[in-house]
Structure 1
Amino acid sequence: MNNPERGAVEFRSVRKDYGGFTAIPELDLRIEPGELVTLLGPSGCGKTTTLRMLAGLETPTKGSVLIGGQDVTRMPPNRRDVTMVFQSYALFPHMTVAENIAYGLESGGMKPAEAHDAGNAGLDLVGLTGLGDRLPSELSGGQQQRVAVARALVLEPQVLLLDEPLSNLDARLRRRVRTEIRELQQRLGFTAVYVTHDQDEALAVSDRIVVMKDGEIAQSGSPRELYEAPASEFIADFIGEANVIDCEVRDLAEGQARIWVGDEELTLPARGILPGPARLAVRPNAFTVNLGGSGIEGRVVSAAYLGDHIEYEIEGPAGRLFVIDGSSTDAFSPGTSVRLRFHGSGAALIA
């Protein structure tokens, strides 16, 4: 019978101190089997420390780490049934691609011929069939990263760890490889823990994003939940850009809040916010820019035409707002008085 816990990851009341510095005050987190969870946050937030404790490269000061229901807190890395893909591909330059992939299998006791066959299967898995005889230097950066993923996957780990795996690739290649990693994870259904500081990357690959700040979980949820319903100004600004503006909650009804911003009225989920002054996180593309009528008043400070949209800086009683207008290709000139109207989604009350 299959173990329903296989591939599950748990941190139970985990704390990590370095001398007098506490990197992780207390972490409770469960990752379900087959889930791809991204640890996201700025430098020093604790995401890499968390990954290293899962890999066995760091030992918690207190608490427990479990993989597949087994306590691995004091277990050495080579017995944890996890593999890691690093930002520096860590391929052996003198070995062929096939030899790189087979190396871990042979080190684990598999016969060379079997390891070679498994290595070729790994290449098929990541779309590099027929490239096994090449050296890493003969591959592109994206292909080398796929080799690193294949080398990890052929070991059939319970959990695949990815530590900033795309940071050495250019922007266009990063988009392509992150899509390939996501498609591979969904097709094979392995559990993955992915560390990055890149918000777009996290939104693109994750089942769930865990945003960390000062060693603690600031918010956890699906990419859509975090983007559309950030819990705080920090989350709103870190997951995509957001304008944080003052508003007034007039009244509540059945969990919905009636909100006024200038002479604009909105109805949004109350999220525990009581009537009175409040704050609203508004995505740049949640506005339309108009010359007259109702809305938030402002004056165009700058306008930049970017092909399919125009980016504005608009100053007014609500502060300086960053606005992306995709409804027009004709930009209003700096100094123009405008009105901003809300449309559709993109605004949320925050604590």
Structure 2
Amino acid sequence: MKIKTRAGSVVFENVTKTYGLGAVTAIDNVSFTINPGELVTLLGPSGCGKTTTLRMIAGLEHATKGKILIGGKDVTQLPATDRDVSMVFQSYALFPHMTVLENVAYGLTVTGVAKAEAHEKAEEGLDLVGLAGYGRRLPSELSGGQQQRVAVARALVLEPEVLLLDEPLSNLDAKLRRQVRTEIRELQQKLGLTAVYVTHDQEEALAVSDHIIVMNRAVIAQQGTPRELYEQPASGFIADFIGDANLVGAELVEVEGDMAHIEIGGLRQTLPHRGLGIGPVNVAVRPDAIELSAVNGESRQSSLKGHITHAAYLGNQMQYSVTSDIGDLFVIDPHIDAPIATGDEVRIGFSGRGLAVVPTDE
């Protein structure tokens, strides 16, 4: 017996969800498509609508307007019990009085699968998540990471069309989060699962996703691959939310084909104009795209200057807060052997990567 995978698509067509007779709009006319076998992350700040969206896929909430399809089937009005999905919860939700094997088999047994068959599948599920031989233990005898893997195994043995993961790593420490997220991603790719993953952790989203849907204020702010969102943010909000960004005012002074000449505090940069015309723009500048040098040192850049207001050593990098004529800047510098002291004056330049033009009207 092998656990089967039946990856299904997920489609939202103009879905709206309101509460309190329309007084509160949690999701506002949202449309997207998740293809079979993709891991797509719903990302955004608290209250943006990502968890409501996940719960609507699961059938735990119902759309006020619009249509939801799973595997091509209209499930908009179907209850959770009639949808071919499984969810991994933030809290693990394991039964403390049951063994690990019984926890994994539970969903099968309540749907009428014979106990022997359910336990055989549960053993396969535990083997998939690297917990073969742990079936007789109680959840309390496992680490947090192991308990989360049990929760994943319990969802997988139901052979869902779509696997839903609701902030599955938020209860783990930072090092364990990195380990378990890698395991989840490798398992999803190995089985060809369709997975929808909710998190507020930008690094986690970048690490595990085929695509990311960034939500803000009940709508989709931008969607795309991790690289597209990081390197081509559609707005200052996206630039700052997907990794840190310094948003600085600039002037687009000349357009040549797809490129534009941008003046940033007296420094000229050539960047893709991304459809923006001549006039004021903002430039999202990644912290590691800013180059600092002593004010009396040689520099290829012009005379844009600043002062270090805070310096912090983080082992593999220095982090600086800098005041300048273009605003307060957050800078990450890999040069740890010759740190710049708080209070020092510095020249400010930009590297070739990590800058993107974004609109000023948000």
**Alignment TM-score, normalising by the size of structure 2:** 0.93
CA distance in 2, matches of 1:276, 1:132: 65
- In structure 1, the partner of 2:315 is 307
Matched residue type, 1:118? K
* Contact 2:247 2:282 survives alignment (8 Å): yes
Shift in Å, 1:117: 1.0
Residue in 1 aligned with 2:351? 343
Question: Is the 1:6–1:69 contact (alpha carbons within 8 Å) kept by the matching residues of 2?
Answer: no
The amino acid across from 2:290 in the alignment is F
1:225-244, aligned counterparts within 5 Å?
A: 225-244=228-247
Contact 1:83/1:159 (<8 A) preserved? yes
* 1:264 Cα deviation after fit: 2.4
1:220 matched to 2:220: no
Cross-structure match for 2:115: 112
Spell out the pairing of 1:87-166 with structure 2 (5 A cutoff): 87-166=90-169
Matched AA of 2:357 = L
TM-superposed CA distance for 1:265, in Å, is 2.2
Instruction: Give the Cα–Cα distance (whole angstroms) in 2 for the partners of residues 197 and 334 of structure 1.
Output: 33
Partner of 1:7: 8
Unaligned regions of 5+ residues in structure 2, if any?
A: 1-5
Distance (Å, rounded) in 1 between the aligned partners of 2:116 and 2:314:
55
Mapped to 2, the partners of 1:115 and 1:211 lie a distance apart of 38
8 A Cα contact 2:7 2:162, kept in partner: no
Q: Is the 8 A contact 1:305 1:329 kept in 2?
A: no
Q: Which runs of 5+ in 1 are unaligned?
A: none
CA deviations over 1:233-257 (Å, ceiling 9, x no partner): 1111111111011112121122111
The sequence identity of aligned pairs, in percent, is 61
Q: Provide the secondary structure at the position in 1 that maps to 2:16.
A: strand
Q: 1 CA distance for matches of 2:80 and 2:316?
A: 49
> SS where residue 8 of structure 2 aligns?
coil
| Alignment correspondent of 1:267 | 270
2:18: which partner in 1? 17
What's the counterpart of residue 45 of structure 2?
A: 42
CA-CA distance at 1:328 after TM superposition: 4.1
Equivalent-residue separation in structure 2 for 1:95 and 1:345 (angstroms): 53
Q: CA deviation at 1:77?
A: 0.6
Instruction: State the SS of the aligned residue for 2:328.
Output: strand
Distance 2:151 2:104 in 1: 8
Note if contact 2:313-2:336 (Cα within 8 Å) is conserved in structure 1: no
Q: SS of 2:222's equivalent?
A: strand
The 1:206–1:162 alpha-carbon spacing in structure 2 relative to 1, beyond 3 Å, is same
For residues 83 and 207 of structure 1, the distance between their equivalents in structure 2, rounded to whole angstroms, comes to 20
Q: Distance in 1 between matches of 2:270 and 2:337?
A: 30
Q: Name the count of aligned residue pairs.
A: 347
Alpha-carbon distance in 1 for matches of 2:162, 2:82: 12
Whole-Å Cα distance in 1 between the matches of residues 227 and 19 of structure 2? 35
Structure 2: which amino acid aligns with 1:254? Answer: G
Relative to the length of structure 1, the TM-score reads 0.96
* Structure 1: distance between partners of 2:94 and 2:7: 29
| Residues 6-56 of structure 1 deviation map (CA, whole Å, 9 limit, x = unaligned) | 510011111111021111121111111011111111111011111111111
1:115 to partner: Cα distance? 1.0
**3-state DSSP class of the match of 1:99?**
helix
How far residue 278 of structure 1 moved from its aligned partner, in angstroms, is: 1.2
After TM superposition, what 4+ stretches of structure 1 lie above 6 angstroms from structure 2?
Answer: none
